[in-house]
Amino acid sequence: MKKFNPQMLNAYFICGSQDLKQDNILTVVQKALAAGITAFQFRDKGPNSHFTPDQRLQAARQLKALCNDYHVPFLIDDDVQLALKVQADGIHVGQSDQKITQVIQSVGQKMIIGYSCSNLAEVQAANQIDGIDYYGCGPIFATTSKADASPVIGISGLTRLVKAATRPVVAIGGIKTDDLSALAQTQAAGAAVISLLTQSSDYQNTVSQLRTAAWQEN
């Protein structure tokens, strides 16, 4: 059975092979786990992925085992079949990914389910669907990590979405450590980051700042 706790959204790391130039993803995720991330999402997709399907499956299995060692939830982006194969703790889907109701039907009892919502209409529609655990809202700022990102919503946009949401919200998109205080004031539950960590020279300090922001606790 799934176990969702909003605090897992505090310091939420997302990464795939396409986000790394030289580094091995296992090394990067191990460093992030040792520094104290509260959740990890394996998002490996797009033309810049370095993995074949078999390599992706092998990496997912190794990453799941690593996350287990640190008692940190392991989520997979978009791919229900891969999530089932490796017995992931959760899955995150976007508006243009697999239909959310089908995902809930397939894995809702077994896995944490996250859903991307970038505007008020998407949040209001998602509020009517049973089985979603949290929303990923953004991009808050411009991001180079996602080629098909929705328009930037800013702090004010995030504030509106958090207010409208009936589930915890994790902010995503172009987030820097200087933004964490303002993000926490929106009553979001945490921040999901890619480049903030992959480009960090001090994982311990970066994750500590993510974890100690005054996030909403429920």
Distance between CA 80 and CA 202 in Å, rounded?
A: 33
Interior CA angle at 113 toward 64 and 105, to 5°? Answer: 110
Among candidate residues 43, 56, 64, 167, the one labeled active-site is 43
Beta strands per DSSP E along 22-125: 39-42, 74-77, 90-93, 112-116
Among candidate residues 118, 146, 150, 167, the one labeled active-site is 146
Distance between CA 152 and CA 196 in Å, rounded?
A: 17
Among candidate residues 17, 116, 118, 145, the one labeled active-site is 116
Helix (H) or strand (E) holding 172: strand 169-172
Active site residue 211: no
Active site residue 160: no
Beta strand 90-93 with 74-77 is parallel
Which parts of the chain fold into alpha helices (H)?
A: 25-35, 53-69, 80-85, 100-107, 120-127, 154-164, 180-184, 195-198, 203-212
Positions marked catalytic = 43, 116, 146
